[in-house]
Amino acid sequence: AAWPSSDHAGLQFRKPPKAQAAWEAGQHSRAANILASELETALVQTGGVLDKWDEALLRWHKGCCHRRARQFKEAKQELETALARFPSFVLALLELAALLLDFGDPQAALVYLKQLLRIDRSLPGLDTWLVRAHADIQRASQVQPRSNTE
């Protein structure tokens, strides 16, 4: 899979080569660890005061890595931290919505997808994510528990 791209938002982010190589090799957990080390190093170098945007980008990338590694708790934490820095960070909102769909919570995902719709209707693939969330919600509502008498 391709390294998560921030091109849509016009972002300039220095992609750590080792993290990118791990991602491309399918070693998503390793990529997240490399990014964690990058974040820690950056915090030490700046005396604990990192540019909010740089931190949000690093945390978004970490969240992407954790999600692909199926580490949902860690992914959610990183993405929510990125969004705490920039609540309208489109790519973090989309990644969080995708995470919630992966986790089986389409209702919560739909909240973030609707927020994205208000922010940027031209986001590539947004319509597909909205359809998926609605389909998951509808599918869940049609599932009826089997009775023990059958």
Q: Which two tokens stand for residue 150?
A: 């059958």
Does 7-142 carry CATH code 1.25.40.10? yes
Domain boundaries, given as residue ranges, for the chain = 7-142
How do residues 10-66 score in pLDDT, each as one tens digit?
444 566 889 889 989 999 999 999 999 988 888 888 787 778 888 899 899 999 999
C-alpha distances (whole Å) from 147 to each of 132, 140, 141 are: 29, 17, 17
What's the rounded Cα separation, in Å, for the pair 150 and 127? 40
- Mean predicted lDDT score pLDDT of the chain: 86
